[in-house]
Chains A and B, each alone.
Chain A
């Protein structure tokens, strides 16, 4: 079974530039998550989709971050304009559904450095 795919794996940009990350979840998984992991910390949820609808985006900095999952499969996370503090790993994850007890599977992450 193919895992959660993410790209690009690494990205270096200057502050105030924009960047986009792509995620392809495990086939058939209805729930998709984007997490932000700053070095030395645990992942923090940014946004959760159920199919193509947003379930929770309460911790997404909406002035600069946006995410979409148009057809209920792939998802894109965009940052515009980037700040130095956005340097982190952006982890995409998916699960079969939103019910408690479903295992959440993570991708390898997209590493962002803002200089």
Chain B
């Protein structure tokens, strides 16, 4: 079953604007990760945020995590046409084997 649910399902913005994608999940987690997938390609790891962290930055990416609301957001600042892709949040949970449960993704289109 898919734990994470991204919102919105699709997002279209102009180049230079900021893009915000949200992810909600249902059960407690060890960490939450964001991945990017270009059309026809594999998944690329963007950023990992642990359950005891609230915010993390990587270049133009900013991720927040609110464990009380079981939600996370991914902000891409100053978007570029090359950011056009699908973005997935994935949660890691459980004390035993480590595996990721993915949401359905947000399809981002950045218009030049």
Contact = CB atoms under 8 A, between A and B. Distances in A.
A48 B99 CA distance: 8
B98 A42 contact: no
B105 A108 contact: no
Contacts of A55: 96-97
Interface residues of A, number: 30
Contacts of A31: 98
A100 B88 CA distance: 18
Given A91-B43, A106-B42, A106-B44, A50 B97 contact: yes
B99 A56 contact: yes
A87 interface: no
B50 A101 contact: yes
B41 interface: yes
B91 to A, nearest CB: 11
A95 B97 CA distance: 12
Contact of B48 (A42, A101, A107, A111): A101
Interface string A92-115: 010101111111111111010000
Interface of B: 2, 4, 30-31, 33, 35, 40-45, 48, 50, 88, 90, 92, 96-105
Interface of A: 4, 31, 33, 40-45, 48, 50, 55-56, 91, 93, 95, 97-109, 111
